[in-house]
Chains A and B, each alone.
Chain A
């Protein structure tokens, strides 16, 4: 079953073309230690972020989120802190491919960054591809999630996907 995405909005990035590397900072592009990555995650936006974030929270992004030359540590840090999905106006293609291959739910939802507020609770409905804001009841239509992305989430990333979906058929 696809994971339930229902959680607080831990941060809203409204800026377009957001460079994902800024989440842990360029000094940590090569950092592997997950505890360090967790401790610096988002701290240039909110110093208390690693303490405030809770499992199930989501990050909201603007248009072309992940633009540039995205590296993997930022999303590793977000996931390790329990962030369950990124919901953005749209994603940069390289970022989308890289992180969906890691089995990370990335949902494209036009208008999300100007509609939801930090700490509101949102829920994503996989069947109807809509995002509901719990506090207001407002529903936002999202883009269709490609089947491959769903398979990658279900199988926990590319290696699981290859084993369970692709190579098992051969």
Chain B
């Protein structure tokens, strides 16, 4: 029977053909988690004290990240980091600390290969879908993965999104994603893996593909995965040093639905407060006064994002009193930004360029106070996400944020290119 990419991946792991709807145990290829109060500290207690497990069979499958509350701003945060280090040490897990946001570090460091199944408690692990792999956030059933190295799953069905055409100037992968939300609804891919493919995918850079896969949960998707092409394999050659067979579905694979998106029709969109479901065309938000901007997060803090911001900011200044935070997703990206000359351009325009961390995305740094408004490439715009519950967050593309930073109010970036 013809298979989707997801069915192929889960069949490989099961050692037999499985199709959407089959419920069984699957051993993930990688089991990943990051430091945060109530997560790794809890897993440590659950593993050792409640379940009595002091050793795992395949420590090489586990990767932990210290990327939240980083650098530690207080002793409590440092304590969480110390627990994370201890957990990694005691069980023999790989730990990345200070390399940036784990959802991207995992690919950069060559851990992700096409066809892999990776778990995390956080659904943004779907980012790795850009490499033809599937990352699923399993929330508090992570302890199942830690304790048994298997997770029970119903093989997900897939929604096929065919991309056609090319993006217009001033339009980004962020816009594409939220355009799709507008078109098929925030539950348009509910409980399914979003399988991206089509000629238009080839026109997108890897950085843009990571963004599209990262946001899968806001279409109701359980994850996202992409067909691989020459760009994917060039990236994989660099990160893994290996050649991989292409990843594609079989002709005639069965999808819950198929959607075609013509990239050339996409226009800038924003996600207005208070919910990620609330997508609006930029025309409906023009002129809204904004106090701060954030370009970064696991969704959008890559070279492409900063190149877009610099296209607008070069030769211009951030408006008086506006705070623009530029936060590279990883330290490798941070280094590359310097090499490419993006960092000095951002700084000269009045942006603050920061160390790689999750903390701007969760209001630990650059926090908003009551009554303020921000434009952000973070993943979420719910109240309280970046500080006060009474601050408002619009999520938008790096172009839109840069244009807004210059004027202190929401501006269509296409008028400044």
Contacts and interface: CB of A to CB of B under 8 A. Distances in A.
B51 A159 contact: yes
Nearest to B186: A17
Contacts of A16: 185-187
A42 B252 CA distance: 47
B205 interface: no
Given A98-B139, A167-B51, A159 B186 contact: no
Interface in B129-162: 137-141, 143-144, 147-148, 150, 152, 154
B191 interface: yes
A67 B380 contact: no
Contacts of A68: 275-277, 380, 382
Interface string A77-101: 0000000000000101110011001
A67 B23 contact: no
Given A19-B382, A67-B186, A98-B139, A166 B277 contact: no
B200 interface: no
Chain B interface residue number, banded: 35 or more
Given A17-B275, A68-B277, A93-B220, A163 B139 contact: no
B222 interface: yes
Interface string A147-170: 110000000001101110011001
B23 A148 contact: yes
Interface in A5-57: 16-17, 19, 21, 26-27, 29
Interface string A113-151: 000000000000000000000000000000000111000
Given A29-B384, A158-B140, A64 B186 contact: yes
A143 B380 CA distance: 30
Contacts of A147: 23
A102 interface: yes
B383 interface: yes
A90 B144 contact: no
B240 interface: no
A63 interface: yes
Given A19-B382, A162-B147, A94 B123 contact: yes
B50 interface: yes
B373 interface: no
B389 interface: yes
Nearest to B389: A26
Interface in B179-194: 185-187, 190-191
Contact of B187 (A17, A94, A148, A162): A17
Nearest to B21: A144
Contacts of B152: 148
A51 to B, nearest CB: 26
Contact of A101 (B51, B140, B275, B380): B140
Nearest to A72: B140
A146 B154 CA distance: 8
A67 B137 CA distance: 14
A26 B383 contact: yes
A147 B190 CA distance: 20
Given A17-B187, A94-B139, A162-B51, A67 B382 contact: no
B187 A92 contact: yes
A16 B188 CA distance: 12
A167 B140 contact: no
B137 A94 contact: yes
Contacts of B299: none
Nearest to B276: A68
A98 B50 CA distance: 19
A102 B141 CA distance: 9
Given A16-B187, A147-B23, A159 B141 contact: no
Given A69-B380, A94-B137, A158 B144 contact: yes
Contact of A90 (B150, B190, B275): B190
Which of B53, B139, B389 is packed against the most chain A CB atoms within 10 Å? B139
A101 B139 contact: yes
B46 interface: yes
Contacts of B143: 158-159, 162
A162 B143 CA distance: 9
A3 to B, nearest CB: 20
Given A63-B187, A159-B143, 19 more contacts: A17-B186, A17-B277, A19-B275, A21-B382, A64-B187, A68-B277, A90-B187, A90-B191, A92-B187, A92-B220, A93-B190, A93-B220, A97-B141, A101-B140, A146-B154, A148-B23, A158-B144, A163-B51, A170-B148
12 contacts: A26-B383, A26-B389, A29-B384, A63-B187, A68-B275, A68-B277, A69-B276, A92-B187, A94-B137, A97-B138, A158-B141, A167-B51
The 9 closest A-B pairs by CB, nearest first: A64-B187, A98-B139, A26-B383, A148-B152, A101-B141, A101-B140, A93-B222, A17-B277, A26-B389
Interface of B: 23, 46, 50-51, 53, 123, 137-141, 143-144, 147-148, 150, 152, 154, 185-187, 190-191, 217, 220-222, 275-277, 380, 382-384, 389
